[in-house]
Amino acid sequence: MNPREFARRRRQLMRMIGRGGVALLAAAPERVRNRDVTFPYRQDSDFLYLTDFPEPEAIAVLIPGRDHGEFILFCRDRDPERERWDGERVGTDGAVRDYGADDAFPITDVDDILPGLLEQCERVYHTMGTHPEFDARVIGWVNALRQRAGAHAPHEFVALDPMLHDMRLYKSRAECSAMRRAARIGVAAHRRAMQATQPGMYEYEIEAEFLHEFRRHDAVPSYQPIVAGGHNACVLHYTRNNARLQEGDLLLIDAGCECEGYASDITRTFPVSGEFDARQRDLYDVVLEAHRAAIAKVGPGHHWNEPHEAAVRAVTRGLKRLGLIDGNVQRLVRDEAYRPFFMHRTGHWLGLDVHDVGDYRVGDQWRLQEPGMAMTVEPGIYIAADSGAPKAWRGLGVRIEDDVLVTRDGHQVLSAALPVDAEDIEALMARAGR
């Protein structure tokens, strides 16, 4: 992404903070996986959004002022010895040259330099709770100033996230194009999985198709893929992915990838054999109807909950048609009779975080959808093996999930290139010559 995009975001945030404020943000720490091995590093989403800076052990300081304000970065120094082992570091010169910092200092000097910067400010904007060790340091710096005779200390802590997360909710052109790319690669991986699936394979073999497709496009999974054959589909966050796929089963796959930090999050459910049986097809079509009804409620002017309300009505009507619940539809909706079978919401914001930031309500009202907001639409029906449903239905789970962008005149389904009609899925699987 163009460095100007990050500079624009910093300027916008500093305008909101105003003179006398200072924003402090920390890079995500590295996490140990085992002994001296770390998990693959992922930058903190807020930090990434404002800096594009890829390394741990960094602190960003934004000080609004005349012109466009100041962006100061504390980061790791260059270190030839360490770089021989772990690869090149950006260093302070690189932070100024490549990341738009007005000034940069070694992170080891932060305790000496940062209090002097805070002394000029009245309000400290900071997000509590994401990185507790950083929270303690911020409080420590301010308290030390308050106790130092003759020093001026900021008198107020202000939550940074309401402003910053509201900004993140509206995706720019560059963000939309990263999300389109994440969706495109996600779609290609799902197509590949549909074509590769054969009875007798293991769930992890299908997971491998996703990893291959993601990595060959320089993307990484945006969350642990859910590859759930048969009744495993009824475990919403199933990630063991180690069961054998049976001829007559459905396979639910919820997998997406991340490009430049932006996630896709896509689910399809299809028959291992390549053909839905009558009962699977009936259930699938109910979920598809709910999915379509929900997507129709994505667009400017609709409120956040309208897609969910539409999905709930369609799922309830469908469950009644299938004989899984009985009664007056309006009353069934009111009494949430669908909940044993549809226990999650129909979507969430999507962006740098899979479950992206941004409020769903404003005061006591659902938020209105506006152009640039991105969300998933993902109704599902799960009939657990131990549910009271008639035996023939037990163990079936279906979810259909697409990524949808609110546009000026409606919406765009970013993952629309992936077959969703039962016939289209069967045709794609048949074409694979399975």
In the complex, what is the shortest distance from the CB of residue 423 to Mn ion, in angstroms, rounded to a whole number? 24
| Residue 272 falls in which region: left (phi positive, over 0), alpha (psi -120 to 50) or beta | alpha
In the complex, what is the shortest distance from the CB of residue 225 to ligand GLY, in angstroms, rounded to a whole number? 9
- Residue 223 interacts with, from ligand GLY, Mn ion, none (CB under 5-8 Å by kind): ligand GLY
Q: Are 428 and 194 in contact (CB under 8 A)?
A: yes
Helical residues (DSSP H) of 296-414, grouped into ranges: 306-321, 329-334
In the complex, what is the shortest distance from the CB of residue 412 to ligand GLY, in angstroms, rounded to a whole number? 19
One of 55, 70, 203, 265 touching Mn ion (CB under 5 A) = 265
- Based on the residue annotation, tell me whether 218 is a catalytic residue of this protein: no
Which one, of 128, 169, 167, lies nearest residue 15 by Cα? 167
Residue whose structure tokens are 């990263």: 178
- Based on the residue annotation, tell me whether 426 is a catalytic residue of this protein: no
- Based on the residue annotation, tell me whether 378 is a catalytic residue of this protein: yes
By the rule CB under 5 A, 353 interacts with Mn ion: no
The residue with its CB nearest to ligand GLY is: 254
- Based on the residue annotation, tell me whether 131 is a catalytic residue of this protein: no
Q: Are 228 and 397 in contact (CB under 8 A)?
A: yes
Site residues (CB under 5 A) for Mn ion, limited to 289-328: none
Q: Catalytic residue, from 123, 217, 348, 367: name it.
A: 348
By the rule CB under 5 A, 52 interacts with Mn ion: no
- Based on the residue annotation, tell me whether 360 is a catalytic residue of this protein: no
- Taking CB under 5 A as the binding criterion, the range among 195-203, 275-283, 301-309, 369-377 that sits at the site for Mn ion is 369-377
Binding region for ligand GLY (CB under 6 A): 223, 254, 265, 348, 354, 378, 401
- Residues contacting residue 404 through CB under 8 Å, at least 6 positions apart: 295, 298, 347, 374, 375, 376, 377, 411, 412, 413, 414
Dump strand ranges (E) for 4-113.
21-26, 32-34, 37-38, 59-63, 70-75, 103-106
- Token pair for residue 215? 């990595």
- Based on the residue annotation, tell me whether 308 is a catalytic residue of this protein: no
Q: Catalytic residue, from 42, 344, 345, 394: name it.
A: 344
- Residue 46 interacts with, from ligand GLY, Mn ion, none (CB under 5-8 Å by kind): none
Q: Pick between residue 11 and residue 348 the one whose CB is nearest to Mn ion.
A: 348
Q: Catalytic residue, from 237, 364, 408, 409: name it.
A: 237
- Residues contacting residue 188 through CB under 8 Å, at least 6 positions apart: 213, 217
CA distances from 267 to 77, 194, 213, 236, 403 (A): 43, 12, 16, 12, 10
Return the ∠ at Cα 259 (arms to 255 and 260), rounded to 5°.
145
Q: Catalytic residue, from 209, 265, 353, 402: name it.
A: 265
- Residue 241 interacts with, from Mn ion, ligand GLY, none (CB under 5-8 Å by kind): none
In the complex, what is the shortest distance from the CB of residue 37 to ligand GLY, in angstroms, rounded to a whole number? 26
In the complex, what is the shortest distance from the CB of residue 255 to ligand GLY, in angstroms, rounded to a whole number? 8
Q: Catalytic residue, from 213, 378, 402, 426: name it.
A: 378
In the complex, what is the shortest distance from the CB of residue 425 to ligand GLY, in angstroms, rounded to a whole number? 19
Instruction: For residues 195 and 426, give the distance between their C-alpha atoms in angstroms, rounded to a whole number.
Output: 10
The interface mask with Mn ion, positions 388-417, x = CB under 5 A, is -------------x----------------
Q: Pick between residue 64 and residue 256 the one whose CB is nearest to ligand GLY.
A: 256
One of 46, 52, 207, 254 touching Mn ion (CB under 5 A) = 254
Q: Pick between residue 57 and residue 401 the one whose CB is nearest to ligand GLY.
A: 401
Instruction: For residues 20 and 6, give the distance between their C-alpha atoms in angstroms, rounded to a whole number.
Output: 22
- Based on the residue annotation, tell me whether 170 is a catalytic residue of this protein: no
Q: Catalytic residue, from 35, 36, 112, 386: name it.
A: 36
Q: Pick between residue 273 and residue 376 the one whose CB is nearest to ligand GLY.
A: 376
- Based on the residue annotation, tell me whether 401 is a catalytic residue of this protein: yes
What's the gap between Cα 161 and its chain centre? 16
Helix (H, G, I), strand (E, B) or coil at 289: helix
Instruction: For residues 227 and 204, give the distance between their C-alpha atoms in angstroms, rounded to a whole number.
Output: 7
DSSP secondary structure code for residue 108 in this structure: G
Residue whose structure tokens are 């309401």: 162
- Based on the residue annotation, tell me whether 262 is a catalytic residue of this protein: no
- Based on the residue annotation, tell me whether 122 is a catalytic residue of this protein: no
Helix (H, G, I), strand (E, B) or coil at 214: helix
In the complex, what is the shortest distance from the CB of residue 265 to ligand GLY, in angstroms, rounded to a whole number? 5
In the complex, what is the shortest distance from the CB of residue 254 to ligand GLY, in angstroms, rounded to a whole number? 5
- Residues contacting residue 354 through CB under 8 Å, at least 6 positions apart: 222, 223, 256, 263, 265, 348
CA distances from 25 to 47, 48, 124, 175, 315 (A): 6, 10, 11, 21, 43
- Residue 44 interacts with, from ligand GLY, Mn ion, none (CB under 5-8 Å by kind): none
Residues that bind Mn ion (CB under 5 A): 254, 265, 376, 401
Annotated active-site positions, please? 36, 237, 254, 265, 344, 348, 355, 378, 382, 399, 401
